[in-house]
Amino acid sequence: MEDTIVKKDRIVLESEVCFACLYIEIWDRIIMAHTNGILSLWDGTSMTKLDSVEIPIDKASESEDIAFSNKHELVISLFEWKIDIRKITPQGLSRQPIMTLSSLVSINAILILDHIDCFLIGSNKIELWSFETLKPAGIIDTESEGPIAEMIYIKKFNQLIVTTFGPNILFYDLKKKLMRRKVHFRNEHWANVIDFVEDQIY
Amino acid sequence: MSRIGIFYYNNKVFRAIKTIAIDEVVWLGSRILINKYYLLISKRIGNVDLVNIKNGQKIKSIIVGNGEVDTLEYIDSTEQILAISLDRAWLIDKKHLFI
């Protein structure tokens, strides 16, 4: 095994602490969410900053995640206690959000479901929100499982897979909002993060 | 010691295939899958590791800046990995990972 020191190819940030970023392939743009509430938009090829806006955050919280709705051209920024939804174009970010949501419980995960015009918010439960109305459209009750850590959607199975801050992986039928399977890990192993890769051959 | 679990899943069967042990993981910062079989993981402390998930081998350990890489993202247009370490970001050519 070889250690490699990465050369200073380019330093693109200057005193802006960033905890989350997302590459938008169709636009060749990068969105970064910074701890101080700054949301910035970068060109993916030139790595130049195109725009930034400040999201007012009430108390110190890390930027947890960013999600992008291709269909609705919206960016959802997730801070620990707040969600900010605003319009985005390849050129910039809207000055005003179209919705903000403050929460009393810690929000850890967000998932875009453009095919049903919804997004999911994971805290100590999973809330289904409509892009059309920007209102809750349903709840998947997971409270007995502990806080949600991450959510992925597998289109070919129409299935939601959820990790928690606990020893279980949960499989939900998204249409019926019912748990179909629970995988439990022994020895207190927590599976916090999860990916699904199609067509892997072993 | 942390582990990466590889599982087979086809909507009916969920079966463990292999477990890959990763040393010194305090907190997984970020991970991206590259070239189908390679997982690049950052750990907030120490190096960024490249792991072959097919054979379970850690094939490279990369020092990025002073460490503490929290976020990784793959940029398709330039075939580079953006590695963000608090207030600095580093661009790593994908081809450098496999040299």
For the record, the structure tokens of A23 come out as 């590459």
B interface test, pick of A2, A5, A6 with most B CB neighbours within 10 Å? A6
B15: in domain: no
Chain A CB contacts of B62 under 8 Å are 3-6
* pLDDT score recorded for residue A3: 47
Predicted TM-score (pTM) of this structure: 0.88
Q: Count of domains in chain B?
A: 1
Q: What is the extent of the structural domain holding A64?
A: 18-148
In the predicted model, is pLDDT for residue A202 greater than 70? no
The Cα of A164 is separated from the nearest Cα of chain B by a number of Å equal to 15
CB contact B5 to A (< 8 Å): yes
Q: Which of A1, A2, A3, A4 to mutate to test the interface with B (most CBs of B within 10 A)?
A: A4
Residue A173 maps to a domain: no
Pick A44's closest partner by Cβ from B60, B61, B75: B75
Shortest Cα distance, chain B CAs vs residue A165, angstroms: 13
Mean pLDDT of chain A: 85
Structural domain that includes position B50: 2-9+24-97
Q: Compute the nearest-CA separation of B59 from chain A (Å).
A: 6
Q: What pLDDT is stored for residue A142 in this prediction?
A: 85
What's the average model confidence in pLDDT over A3-9? Answer: 49
CA angle A167, A120, A117 (to 5 degrees): 145
Q: What is the CATH number of the domain that holds A23?
A: 2.130.10.10
Q: In this structure, is residue A138 part of a structural domain?
A: yes
Q: Which one is predicted more confidently, A200 or A190?
A: A190
Residue A1 in this model has a pLDDT that exceeds 60: no
Whether residue B51 lies inside any domain: the answer is: yes
pLDDT tens digits for A16-27?
A: 677 788 999 999
The mean of the pLDDT values for chain B is: 84
- pLDDT tens for A47-66 read 889 999 998 876 666 667 89
Q: Is A7 a member of any domain?
A: no
Q: Can you tell me the distance from the alpha carbon of A79 to that of A122, in angstroms, rounded to the nearest whole number? A: 12
Percent of chain B with pLDDT over 70: 92
Whole-angstrom Cα distance, residue B33 to residue B38?
A: 6
Residue predicted with more confidence, A92 or A200 = A92
DSSP annotation string for A93-160: B-SS-SEEEE-SS---EEEEEGGGTEEEEESSSEEEEETTT-SEEEEE--GGG-SEEEEEEEGGGTEE
Residue B19 lies in a domain: no
Residue A69: pLDDT over 70: yes
Q: Above 50 in pLDDT, residue A2? A: no
**What pLDDT does A5 receive?**
45
The yes-or-no verdict on residue B27 having pLDDT over 70 is no
Q: What is the pLDDT of residues A24-42, one digit of tens each?
A: 999 999 999 887 788 999 9
Chain A: give the shortest CA distance to residue B8, in Å.
9
Q: What is the CATH number of the domain that holds B58?
A: 2.40.10
CA angle A134, A95, A53 (to 5 degrees): 110
Considering the domain boundaries, does residue B77 fall inside one?
yes
Nearest CA in chain A to B17: A202
Phi, psi dihedrals of residue A157, rounded to the nearest 5°: -105, 0
- Residue B42 domain-assigned? yes
Q: What are the beta bridge partners of residue B41? A: B31, B49
Domain assignment present for A100: yes
d(C-alpha A161, C-alpha A72), whole Å: 24
With residues binned 3-state (H G I as helix, E B as strand, rest as coil), the percentages for chain A, rounded to 5, are 5, 50, 45
pLDDT of residue A10: 53
Structural domains counted in chain A: 1
Q: Using a CB-CB distance cutoff of 8 angstroms, which residues of chain A are in contact with residue B75?
A: 23, 28, 30, 44
Q: Which of residues 40-99 of B touch A (CB under 8 A)?
A: 47, 54, 58-65, 70-71, 73-78, 80, 82-84, 86-93, 96
Structural domain contains residue B63 = yes
- Residue A161, pLDDT > 80, answer yes
pLDDT band, very low/low/confident/very high, at A131 (cuts 50, 70, 90): very high
Which chain A residues have a beta carbon less than 8 Å from that of B84?
Answer: 13, 18-19, 21, 32
Check CB contact under 8 Å for B92 and A6: yes
Task: State both tokens at A182.
Answer: 């629970």
